Amino acid sequence: LPISQREKEKAWARQRQLQKEMVSQQEKLEEVQEKYRQVKAENRQNKNKVHQLQNEIKRLHEKIKSMEDIQGLADQQLQEADEEKETILAQLEDLEKRKKIEDARAEKQFVSLDKELKELKRAIITSDKLAA
């Protein structure tokens, strides 16, 4: 009978120890499950953040493409403006040459008319002297 009592006490002690271990294991399980839920929630948040960042990257790529298109048009307009400027400068140079030629012709004509006027004045003076 005493052996049986000792065995019962050992069995009770073993049962208490197993219950403590079960409680400890249950607490660990709950901690692990909570960590799993947290990791799962973080993972979901990270996936959402990645999706947002991908959308932002796509939007920025589109914006860059639009800016490149605008830059291309601006470059083309600058090229056309430069060509137009060159054309206008060439026309201006041509006009300046024509003006110089016209000025020289007018000067020559003025000198000729001035000479003719002086000759006429001399002729009038001579005519007046002869008439007097």
Question: Could you tell me if residue 44 is inside a domain?
Answer: yes
Question: Could you tell me if residue 50 is inside a domain?
Answer: yes
Closest listed residue to residue 107, CA positions, set 99, 95, 96: 99
Residue 57 C-alpha from the chain's centroid: 15
Question: Could you tell me if residue 104 is inside a domain?
Answer: no
Number of domains in the chain: 1
User: In this predicted structure, what is the pLDDT of residue 54?
Assistant: 99
User: What is the residue-wise DSSP string for the chain?
Assistant: -HHHHHHHHHHHHHHHHHHHHHHHHHHHHHHHHHHHHHHHHHHHHHHHHHHHHHHHHHHHHHHHHHHHHHHHHHHHHHHHHHHHHHHHHHHHHHHHHHHHHHHHHHHHHHHHHHHHHHHHHHHHHHHHHHH-
User: In this predicted structure, what is the pLDDT of residue 25?
Assistant: 98
User: In this predicted structure, what is the pLDDT of residue 44?
Assistant: 98
Question: Could you tell me if residue 5 is inside a domain?
Answer: yes
Range(s) of the domain holding residue 29: 1-92
Closest listed residue to residue 69, CA positions, set 58, 61, 80: 61
CB atoms within 10 A of CB 103: 10
Q: One digit per residue, pLDDT tens: the chain, 132 residues?
A: 567 888 889 999 999 999 999 999 999 999 999 999 999 999 999 999 999 999 999 999 999 999 999 999 999 999 999 999 999 999 999 999 999 999 999 999 999 999 999 999 999 999 988 887
Question: Could you tell me if residue 105 is inside a domain?
Answer: no
- Regarding pTM above 0.85, the answer is no
User: In this predicted structure, what is the pLDDT of residue 132?
Assistant: 74
Question: Could you tell me if residue 125 is inside a domain?
Answer: no
Question: Could you tell me if residue 4 is inside a domain?
Answer: yes
